[in-house]
Structure 1
Amino acid sequence: MEYSKLAPAYKEEYIEKLFPLLRIPSVFEASDHFPYGKSIDEALHYMLSLGKEDGFLCSNIEGHAGHIEFGAGEEVIGLLGHLDVVPPGDGWSTEPFQPVIEGDCLYARGAQDDKGPVVAAYLAMKLLKDQGFVPKKRVRLILGTDEERDWKGIEHYFKKEEMPVFGFTPDAVFPVIHAEKGLIDSYINFDVPDVTSSNALLSFSSGERLNMVPDAAEARLKINDIEELFQAFLNLHQLKGNIQKQENTFLLTLYGKTAHGSKPENGVNAALHLLKFLKEIQLHPDHAEIVNHIIECLSDPAGSGLNCNFQDEVSGNLTCNMGIVDWKSGEKCRVGVNVRYPVTIDSELIVQSLKRFSKKAHGTMEIYDHLKALHIKKEHPHIQALLEIYNRHAEDTAIPHSIGGATYARALETGVAYGALFKDSPDTAHQANEHIQLKDMIKAIAIYAEAIQHLSR
């Protein structure tokens, strides 16, 4: 089959099926009735209903995940995607959950991460089915629901369902991702002395997720007039923000730029910048000690402040993102840190660095989540087959890559990330104005269709 000629016929269907999914604000929310919230459950039901309408076998695994399947045989080939998204954040030119097409670009939260690629993978399966192809292995599009948070959905799925012999996730970039850095999410907790005199930091709040660079930060201070100092700081660093006087306190707000936690250098960390301003205004010593320590250890996204700026030839540099800061005077300061370490580095070195960071300021450290690194040899036959298919369609000579992102490939015994972005695609995951290029998704449909046919024969 000439997939590159067949795929363009699915463009209108791609848009038609994707738009309703993008309109569902599938951000995690606590719920007594749904594992990850009503909206995520709605997104899962929507995709499974599409599969049923198109004649696929579908299964909902107790609201934690689901799959859409076709083919026969003892073995399963898995395509793993997720339907949950990160919060939209600020700075959008359009409504985040009202998809808009401008030229060849489709804008919406989840367009790139990961709803757009999931629908591309689905239509690759449908293209094959429409052409009468019957896989000799069962092909499953596995739909996760909690990827942006705790991965509980996919963990529950594989407690109930069999593990594919091989699989890929359309949740990264082409050509083939054979290595993913290890990921440690941790929280550092400090006791904050109750300061009632002047120059006290009463509260500080920034960030929603550890895997996002925070795009806004807010601090309340009991201090003398600092309006001119704050404005001068904003001007010097080309930042935006505002300051409001409220009785005997000042409320400071500073805006940055969000980015994916695996690439903190692409964002502007609002929390870090606001803390740096607080360092300049001579806070009360009991508060300044903690603020200065956070800045000293977490300013460098390569991790030098933690003395763990490691790197290797397989996966590159370590990255460190301070994603959450929550401070209440007289109570606690909670700092959330997302570290992604090279695949050949012992994770215990990172853990000990984080413990030293917390101990130095008389705090405590807790590991919230730890995803071990993924590393499959480039010579693996399935990797080489996927690489050849991509290079032929893209007219490229690429080699397998590594990334700092954490994809569902880690949930497989043997699997990789495979697209759906190309080397010239805009990378806007977790950012304002997230978008995809439609031409990229149509090309991805062709690549995925051929990959599925090859892996399932």
Structure 2
Amino acid sequence: MKEKLEQYFFEHRESFIEHIRRLVRVRSVKGEPKEGMPFGEGPAAALKETLDIAEELGLLTKNFDNYVGTISINEQESKLGILGHVDVVGEGKNWTYDPYEGVIVDGKMYGRGTSDDKGPVIAAMYALAAVKDLGIPLSYNTKLIVGTDEESGMADLDYYLTKEKTPPYVFTPDAEFPVINIEKGAIRTSFDASFTPSEELPRVRSIRGGYKVNVVPPEAEAEIVGMLLPDISEIAHRITVETGVNFELRDMGQQLVHIKAIGVGGHASIPETAINAITGLLTLVNALPLQPSEGHRMLQGLSDIFPHNDYYGKAAGLDLEDKESGKLTMNFSIFSYNAEGHLEGQFDSRVPICATEANTFDVLEPKLAQYGIRLVRGGFEKPHHTPGDSPFVQTLLRVYEEYTGLKGECIAIGGGTYVHDIEGGVAFGPTMPGIDTRMHSNDEFIIIDDMLKASQIYAQVIVELCGTQS
């Protein structure tokens, strides 16, 4: 079987690559809902392209009102579900290559969605096609379930589950190998405050940064009134050395200076791999000789609670950890402040199994309150845990070991995937261990040979679970 699959994917390598590129070229960021397009034109177009490709490969398709599409090998009862998505986060800035072209350099394809999750969807689709084309007898169907709102709330999956049940075995190809059987919980919520505006100089006129709660903000900007650019520049240089955040300053005239903070974006579940522009900018703002005010005190408080490079919530009193799922992580995601007297922000914290509302919300709420900032309660998502000794997980690990020669094991992650609320579900590839594909950041990529290998693994899993001997 292994040799047959290797030959199949050798023969279909170019079409495999081109089909990923076809999906990457569709900018499927969530947009305004339209008739028949619940998440906007982009996600609907990407779903249509996906189902078109599946039909070209001879697979069976069904569109659930542009929320979700399904792709099947046959019309038998489904035993295995593979759950992927074709919506993407915004492209952000500072790409080396066009994020919607699928440029290939040194065996890597660059583009938004290549690894999250369009490349993996094509890998799963080709696994179905390979099993069908090779004429391998099956007793059950495998169904590829393709969503369009994974990045923005998963309303697509909620809708789908009102129409159909998931198969007894489910995995998502939206992470890394070997098997992810634990996903941390999450706190995605906000805080806000009102304060008495100040006219004293120098002062902050505005701050804004971040664009999505589950993304480490790569940029932020502020306007300072009452200081000269050279005076800010000297302090900004020192803060760059401390934080790794670069600052671009622009003199706007009349003692108004615009500051642009440039960090490195990344996924909120692994903030230690990125550089947060918001926390870096607040570090600079609070290092400036500004006049005391109620608003300024709040900015100082936020830097005290969410200091730059405090990836694990220690200053906020949230440094939780357990053996099974690891440490709590913290990402200050979105922030705005205006001189009219209002600030608001959002954060994304990935929490271990031991986390509860009592040891998170009840700790953070009074810390913010001492600066006059209100924490919005809610948005607590429980962790997900599938036992590593289940027959399903053991099958996945065995096939992974056979095709890679690497040790199979279960791991925990901070990211939440489509299977987070599906009992018995796990994340399974397609990224090989130790590879950072820069998902949610600029220059996201896949290693083409690794994606082809993942597709072979998925095909073997289909045979193991749905074949006549299963």
1:265 aligns with 2:272: yes
> Which residue pairs with 1:290 in the alignment?
298
**8 A Cα contact 1:425 1:437, kept in partner:** no
Alignment of 1:277-356 (within 5 A): 277-283=284-290, 284-299=292-307, 300-356=310-366
Deviation at 1:184, TM superposition (A): 1.4
Alignment of 1:53-452 (within 5 A): 53-234=56-237, 236-237=241-242, 238-248=244-254, 249-283=256-290, 284-299=292-307, 300-367=310-377, 369-452=379-462
Deviation at 1:148, TM superposition (A): 1.1
**8 A Cα contact 2:325 2:353, kept in partner:** yes
Matched to 1:17, the amino acid is H
Give, in whole Å, the separation in 1 of the partners of 2:201 and 2:288.
Answer: 12
Matched to 1:364, the amino acid is R
Q: Secondary structure at the match of 2:150?
A: coil
Deviation at 1:59, TM superposition (A): 1.4
Deviation at 1:119, TM superposition (A): 0.6
Give, in whole Å, the separation in 1 of the partners of 2:293 and 2:198.
Answer: 10
Q: Secondary structure at the match of 2:132?
A: helix
**8 A Cα contact 1:76 1:139, kept in partner:** yes
Alignment size in residue pairs: 457
Deviation at 1:232, TM superposition (A): 4.1
Give, in whole Å, the separation in 1 of the partners of 2:206 and 2:137.
Answer: 60
Query: Which of 406-415 and 66-75 deviates more?
Result: 66-75
Deviation at 1:367, TM superposition (A): 5.0
Query: Which of 88-97 and 6-15 deviates more?
Result: 6-15
Give, in whole Å, the separation in 1 of the partners of 2:430 and 2:77.
Answer: 28
Give, in whole Å, the separation in 1 of the partners of 2:394 and 2:159.
Answer: 31
Give, in whole Å, the separation in 1 of the partners of 2:195 and 2:78.
Answer: 56
Deviation at 1:32, TM superposition (A): 3.3
Matched to 2:246, the amino acid is K
Query: Which of 45-54 and 365-374 deviates more?
Result: 365-374
Give, in whole Å, the separation in 2 of the partners of 1:219 and 1:368.
Answer: 29
Ranges in structure 2 where 5+ consecutive residues have no aligned partner: none
Residues 265, 451 of structure 1: alpha-carbon distance in 2 compared, 3 angstrom cutoff: same
> Which residue pairs with 2:15 in the alignment?
13
Residues 231, 456 of structure 1: alpha-carbon distance in 2 compared, 3 angstrom cutoff: farther
Give, in whole Å, the separation in 2 of the partners of 1:436 and 1:349.
Answer: 38
Q: Secondary structure at the match of 2:423?
A: coil
**8 A Cα contact 2:236 2:247, kept in partner:** no
**8 A Cα contact 2:215 2:268, kept in partner:** yes
Matched to 2:9, the amino acid is A
Question: Percent identity, aligned pairs only?
Answer: 28
Give, in whole Å, the separation in 1 of the partners of 2:453 and 2:377.
Answer: 40
Q: Secondary structure at the match of 2:33?
A: coil
**8 A Cα contact 1:72 1:136, kept in partner:** no
**8 A Cα contact 1:164 1:412, kept in partner:** no
Residues 4, 329 of structure 1: alpha-carbon distance in 2 compared, 3 angstrom cutoff: same
Residues 231, 431 of structure 1: alpha-carbon distance in 2 compared, 3 angstrom cutoff: farther
Give, in whole Å, the separation in 1 of the partners of 2:228 and 2:114.
Answer: 45
1:227-271: per-residue Cα shift (whole Å, max 9, x none)?
Answer: 333344235345422212223322111100001101111111111
Query: Which of 3-12 and 108-117 deviates more?
Result: 3-12
Deviation at 1:134, TM superposition (A): 4.3
1:113-169: per-residue Cα shift (whole Å, max 9, x none)?
Answer: 111111101101100010113432231111111111111111111111112211100
**8 A Cα contact 1:70 1:135, kept in partner:** no
Residues 372, 10 of structure 1: alpha-carbon distance in 2 compared, 3 angstrom cutoff: farther
Residues 147, 357 of structure 1: alpha-carbon distance in 2 compared, 3 angstrom cutoff: farther
Give, in whole Å, the separation in 2 of the partners of 1:370 and 1:66.
Answer: 29
Matched to 1:356, the amino acid is P
Deviation at 1:72, TM superposition (A): 4.2
TM-score (norm 1): 0.96
**8 A Cα contact 1:184 1:367, kept in partner:** no
Residues 5, 426 of structure 1: alpha-carbon distance in 2 compared, 3 angstrom cutoff: farther
1:368-421: per-residue Cα shift (whole Å, max 9, x none)?
Answer: 644321111111111011001001111012311111111112142221000000
Matched to 2:284, the amino acid is F
Deviation at 1:80, TM superposition (A): 0.5
Give, in whole Å, the separation in 2 of the partners of 1:121 and 1:440.
Answer: 13
**8 A Cα contact 1:174 1:423, kept in partner:** yes
TM-score (norm 2): 0.93
**8 A Cα contact 1:187 1:368, kept in partner:** no
Deviation at 1:9, TM superposition (A): 2.4
Give, in whole Å, the separation in 2 of the partners of 1:127 and 1:347.
Answer: 47
Give, in whole Å, the separation in 1 of the partners of 2:300 and 2:42.
Answer: 40
Give, in whole Å, the separation in 2 of the partners of 1:405 and 1:236.
Answer: 30
Give, in whole Å, the separation in 1 of the partners of 2:93 and 2:84.
Answer: 25
Deviation at 1:103, TM superposition (A): 1.6
Q: Secondary structure at the match of 1:343?
A: coil
**8 A Cα contact 1:80 1:169, kept in partner:** yes
Q: Secondary structure at the match of 1:280?
A: coil
Matched to 2:299, the amino acid is V
Deviation at 1:210, TM superposition (A): 1.1
Q: Secondary structure at the match of 1:335?
A: strand
**8 A Cα contact 2:78 2:143, kept in partner:** no
Alignment RMSD, CA only? Answer: 1.7
> Which residue pairs with 2:52 in the alignment?
49
Deviation at 1:224, TM superposition (A): 2.1
